[in-house]
Amino acid sequence: MKNQSELIDKILTESKNIAVVGISKNTEKDSYKVALYLENAGYNVIPVNPAVSEVLNKKCYPSLIDIPDDITIDIVDIFRRPEFVAPIVEDAINRGTKTIWMQDTIEDPKSAEKASKEGIQVIMNNCTMREHKFRNNSSAS
C-alpha cells in the first residue's frame, strides 16, 4: 500500500471526471469554490445535488446513479455531513468509481472500509483543492 501522499498524487494525476456530491449554487460555499477550482484546473466536474438543477453552467444530477452510465466517475468528492455519507458511498460502489474522497471534517470509517474492500481508494477529511494546489505549487518551485 502506498503512503497517503503517493496515493493522492496518483489520484489527482490519473483522474479526469469528478462528481461533486453536495455542490451548492452559493458561490461562497466551499463546495462551489472547490468545484470551480477543479474545473479551472482541467477536471470535468459533474455536479450532484437533488435541490439544484444547474451549477457552473452544467446540468446538476440528483444523485450519482442519475449520472448517465457512459460517463465514467473517477472521483466522488463528498461535501455532505458524515451521517449522509453511507448511501453516497453505496451509490459510488455501484457506479464502479475508482476513488471516494470525503472533504475536510467528513469521515465515515465504516463506509470507507466497505469501499476499500471493493477495491476503491478512499481519502477522508481532506480537501481536493488544497491537495491539488499543494502539488502544483511544490512542483513549480
Arithmetic mean of pLDDT over the chain: 95
What's the pLDDT at 138? 61
Region 94-116: mean pLDDT is 97
Domains present along the chain, CATH in parentheses: 4-140 (3.40.50.720)
Please state the φ and ψ torsions of residue 126, each to the nearest 5 degrees.
-155, 155
HSE-CB for 28 with a 13 A CA cutoff: 0
| pLDDT for the residue 140 | 46
Average pLDDT value for residue range 122-127: 97
pLDDT value of position 3: 86
CA dist., res. 28 & res. 38, Å (int): 16
Is residue 12 scored above 50 in pLDDT?
A: yes
pLDDT bucket at 1, cuts 50 / 70 / 90: very low
- Judged against a pLDDT cut of 70, whether residue 17 lies above it is answered with yes
Give the confidence band of 137 by pLDDT, cuts at 50, 70, 90.
confident
Give the whole-angstrom CA distance, residue 28 versus residue 76. Answer: 21
* pLDDT of amino acid 15: 97
Q: Note the pLDDT tens digit of each residue in 58-87.
A: 999 999 999 999 999 999 999 999 999 999
What CA–CA distance (Å, rounded) separates 78 from 124? Answer: 9
State the DSSP H helix or E strand holding residue 111, giving kind and residue range, or none if neither: helix 109-117
Chain Cα centroid distance, residue 14: 14
